[in-house]
Amino acid sequence: MLTRKHSIEGKNPFGKAAELFNSLDADAAMKLAMVAGDITLVLDETGLIVDTAFDPKEFPGFEGWEGTNWLDTVTVESRPKVMEMLAASRRGEVQHWRQVNHPTRDGDVPIRYAVLTVNGGEHRIAFGRDLREAGRMQQRLLQVQQSLERDYLRMRQLDARYRMLFENSGEPMMLVEAANLKIREANSMAHSLLGARAGSLSGKKLSGFVDKSSRDALQSLVGAALASNAASPAEITLSKGNRTVAAYASGFIQDRAQQLLVRFASVEGADADITSPVLELVNEMPDGFVITDANLDVVSANTAFIEMVQASSLDPIVGRNLSSWIGRPGIDLELIEGQVDQHGSARNVSTVLRVNDDLEGEQIELSAVRGDAEDGHYAFVIRPIGRRLRDLPPGPQDLPRSVEQLTDLVGRVSLKEIVRESTDLIERLCIEAALQYTSDNRASAAEILGLSRQSLYSKLHRHGLGNLTGEDSD
């Protein structure tokens, strides 16, 4: 396909500066030809390559083309393009850029050429521009676009689930802006409780539906919800019907502004209803949720975790230690437990989920917190990430990560080099995994790798991993 981009067709020719080109000497003309393309070929009228100019580091395998016909250096499908460009130069037609591919041991190299006739038609100069970087950028752009489309689809699915849970909740619920108590969203039960038409609460202030005698209590509830995750409910009287209800509020941040999730319950059943919606929502979560005692024995779990460990119900897994499924025995959970005890929480720790004696396991992310009591329980949120990692193909510069990718190197480099690169790769990946498992605690990483600290430091230095001047993080 012809392309007119960067062609001289349609461009205004030089005017006052045209005479400067008549004064170009041979050295200046040669430098101009070399600068005009990443690779420059000098051809005779038959297409035989007389001379070349290119960077051997950028174009390995292009050496020794002098005396070879241009057609013999390109792939079969590119030969008609070369013939068309040579024929057009003989007819004196305006040249347009054409892409041809040169076969090499590392694959085809795409070059975009334009041919210029010189020396009264006896010679031609083919100016070539390397398209590999543009191809890599296009491939990466496509990967990012596909990832964004997948993320957009997941967000739409999550939004649909949220809408269904919010609207079908058995309690009046609404989302309120904390700064001005303006209602952003409300479900049908909230409209019914406040005596409003369906869809009419959005944009109105919640304080307008509360009796004046209860507005101070509402403000106190808002302040408590923003300051603590365990705000006590407040009894407020609604302006319509003089009905007294128990109001619960939970604060969160969205769009860089503080928001409130407000729900109402009848005063008589307030104590009984306080936890049921929370438990119901946790059980419907797509991510696994597990509560354990101080010994990490399972106390309760939601449906998602039961499905992850392929159990028939909650009963078979209650009382079993979480290490039966999470991480490598005696390593991962002990490190996670230590991090929670020290910092109060662990966030997005990479580990594995093992089912049915599967030693390799499925890659997951785990977050955990612990209760305030001395014998407090642990809560874990578990999210599988193996599919996410498979969906994003590695970029062109990524190291090989499988036997198939390593065997693709056969024929390009020697067996000795493949074995050396494989050994270095495995060593580096194991060290990175150990550092990730231990939250960059090098002493623990050396222990699980069976290395001395000095040996680990030496390998970190050789692979260029981390700052080796600081102390170990305990």
β-bridge partners, 244: 237
Q: What does the pLDDT read at residue 473?
A: 45
Q: What mean pLDDT is predicted for residues 155-160? A: 86
* pTM of full prediction above 0.75: no
Q: Give the CATH number of domain 18-130; options: 3.30.450.20, 2.60.40.1220, 3.40.1280.10, 3.60.15.10.
A: 3.30.450.20
C-alpha 343: how far from chain center: 27
Q: What is the mean pLDDT of residues 234-253?
A: 87
pLDDT band at 374 (very low <50, low <70, confident <90, very high): low
Q: Which pLDDT does position 20 carry in this prediction?
A: 67
Answer CATH for 393-474 from 1.10.10, 3.30.160, 2.60.40, 1.10.260: 1.10.10
Average pLDDT in the chain: 80
**Bridge partners of 138?**
none
Q: Residue 328's pLDDT is what? A: 67
List the chain domain ranges. Answer: 18-130, 169-271, 285-387, 393-474
Residue keyed to tokens 């596909």: 146
Residues 6+ apart with CB under 8 A from 297: 319, 320, 321, 322
In this prediction, residue 270 carries a pLDDT of: 43
CATH topology of domain 169-271: Beta-Lactamase (3.30.450)
Q: How confident is the model at residue 388 (pLDDT cuts 50, 70, 90)?
A: low
Lowest mean pLDDT among 66-70, 117-121, 293-297, 406-410: 406-410
pLDDT for 474: 43
What pLDDT does 193 receive?
A: 86
Q: What percent of the chain has pLDDT over 70?
A: 81
Looking at the predicted structure, is the pLDDT value of residue 471 above 70?
Answer: no
In 3D space, the residue among 254, 140, 241, 260 whose CA is nearest the CA of residue 193 turns out to be 241
Q: Is there a shared CATH topology between the 169-271 domain and the 285-387 domain?
A: yes
Q: Which CATH superfamily is domain 285-387 in?
A: PAS domain (3.30.450.20)
Q: Which residue has the tokens 């390397």?
A: 130
- What was the pLDDT predicted at 408? 63
Query: For every residue of the chain, which 3-state class applies, written as one string?
Result: CCECCCCCCCCCCCCCCHHHHHCCCHHHHHHHHHHHCCEEEEEECCCEEEEEEECCCCCCCCCCCCCCEHHHHCCHHHHHHHHHHHHHHHCCCCCCEEEEEEEECCEEEEEEEEEEEEHHHCEEEEEEEECHHHHHHHHHHHHHHHHHHHHHHHHHHHHHHHHHHHHCCCCCEEEEECCCCEEEEECHHHHHHHCCCCCCCCCCEHHHHECHHHHHHHHHHHHHHHHCCCCCCEEEEECCCCCEEEEEEEEEEECCEEEEEEEEEECCCHHHHCCHHHHHHHHHCCCEEEEECCCCEEEEECHHHHHHCCCCCCCCCCCCEHHHCECCCCCHHHHHHHHHHHHCEEEEEEEEECCCCCCCCEEEEEEEEECCCCCCCEEEEEEECHHHHHHCCCCCCCCCCCHHHHHCCECCECHHHHHHHHHHHHHHHHHHHHHHHCCCCHHHHHHHHCCCHHHHHHHHHHHCCCCCCCCCCC
105, pLDDT greater than 90:
no
Q: What pLDDT score was predicted for residue 168?
A: 79
What is the reported pLDDT for 132?
87
pLDDT of residue 405: 62
Q: Name the more confident of 50 and 25.
A: 50
Q: Looking at residue 226, what is its pLDDT?
A: 86
pLDDT at 362: 81
Q: Is the pLDDT of residue 410 over 70?
A: no
Reported as a single tens digit per residue, the pLDDT across 208-239 is 899 989 989 999 898 888 887 767 888 999 88
Please give the average per-residue pLDDT across 320-336, as a whole number. 78
